[in-house]
């Protein structure tokens, strides 16, 4: 109980939040690196996955190649990247020390759920719906933008949601290679037996993860064309997506 009280005191002490080593700075740094890695993964993964899903081709190969990222521990990849001459542990603007290496590792970690969900979402749009669109004289691009993508959006957002929460939580390992983020406080706290500091930082990570999860869940519901209830579900059935162990 004393440790928990000390952790609460650490969280409620203003001095611990200010400065370059304070909680606010490290929190913003981790948010920045998380959303940057996610944005890059989305730009790469969604563009390819949605295109392949629309064509209905090469999905098996693409999904399995992308899923290799689930089998490679993120920390192992990060450790390899920081030992290279480039990217190494060099500073990268607001991302801090080993910023580029951390971004690459987290981006590759985010790709599998984003890619898999997006491909399945478009590929599995109900055949009668696609046939109706063709019967109405829609071109391929019109079918994608007006029919397939709207119906696929809930599952696409679900993949982004999974990737976001995973990347946010996994970003703390950057501290193990002197990288950015709240992991710095967690590792320093437990290494120096300053447990209240480590627990306080871990609590902030957990709270932010919960907020991100809830926010994405609300977005997922908002883009669901079936959320009001219909007799027949037109979109793809959601598959069970299991998260890989990244660290």
pLDDT tens digits along 124-180:
887 788 878 888 888 878 888 888 888 899 999 999 999 999 999 999 988 888 888
Does residue 191 surpass a pLDDT of 50?
yes
Task: Quote the pLDDT of residue 40.
Answer: 96
Nearest in space to 123 (alpha carbons), one of 58, 189, 202, 32: 58
Give percent of the chain with pLDDT exceeding 70: 91
pTM: 0.85
> Is there a contact between 118 and 50 (Cβ–Cβ < 8 Å)?
yes
pLDDT (average), residues 189-199: 88
Q: Is the dihedral of CA 168, 174, 179, 181 positive or negative?
A: positive
Backbone angles phi, psi at 86, to 5 degrees: -145, 130
For 236, half-sphere exposure in the C-beta direction (CA atoms, 13 angstrom radius) is 24
Name the pLDDT band for 110 (thresholds 50, 70, 90).
very high
Task: Quote the pLDDT of residue 228.
Answer: 53
Task: Quote the pLDDT of residue 130.
Answer: 81
Query: Rounded distance, CA 37 to CA 106, Å?
Result: 6
Average pLDDT, the chain: 84
> Is there a contact between 54 and 118 (Cβ–Cβ < 8 Å)?
no
Nearest in space to 15 (alpha carbons), one of 30, 25, 2, 29: 25
Query: Rounded distance, CA 69 to CA 114, Å?
Result: 12
Task: Quote the pLDDT of residue 238.
Answer: 52
Task: Quote the pLDDT of residue 57.
Answer: 76
Domain at 22-182, CATH class = mainly alpha
Does residue 236 surpass a pLDDT of 70?
no
pLDDT (average), residues 212-223: 91
Hey, where are the domains in the chain?
22-182
Find residue 97's DSSP bridge partners. Answer: 91
Name the pLDDT band for 235 (thresholds 50, 70, 90).
low
User: What 3-state class would DSSP assign to 91?
Assistant: strand
Which is more confident, 105 or 244? 105
């Amino acid at each position: 109980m004393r440790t928990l009280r000390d952790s609460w005191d650490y969280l409620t002490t203003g001095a611990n939040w200010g400065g370059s080593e304070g909680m606010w700075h490290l929190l913003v740094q981790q948010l920045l690196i998380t959303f940057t890695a996610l944005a890059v993964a989305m730009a790469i993964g969604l563009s390819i996955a949605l295109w392949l899903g629309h064509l209905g081709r090469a999905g098996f190969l693409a999904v399995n190649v992308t899923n290799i990222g689930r089998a490679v521990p993120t920390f192992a990849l990060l450790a390899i990247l920081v030992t290279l001459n480039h990217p190494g542990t060099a500073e990268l603007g607001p991302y801090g020390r080993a910023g580029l290496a951390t971004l690459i590792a987290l981006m590759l970690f985010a790709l599998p759920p984003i890619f898999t969900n997006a491909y399945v979402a478009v590929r599995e749009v109900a055949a009668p719906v696609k046939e109706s669109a063709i019967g109405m004289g829609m071109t391929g691009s019109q079918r994608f933008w007006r029919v397939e993508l709207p119906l696929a959006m809930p599952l696409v957002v679900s993949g982004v949601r999974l990737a976001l929460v995973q990347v946010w939580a996994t970003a703390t390992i950057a501290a193990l290679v002197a990288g950015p983020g709240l992991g710095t406080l967690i590792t320093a706290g437990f290494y120096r037996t300053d447990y209240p500091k480590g627990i306080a930082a871990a609590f902030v990570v957990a709270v932010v993860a919960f907020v991100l999860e809830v926010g994405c869940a609300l977005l997922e519901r908002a883009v669901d064309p079936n959320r009001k209830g219909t007799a027949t579900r037109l979109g793809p059935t959601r598959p069970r997506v299991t998260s890989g162990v990244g660290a």
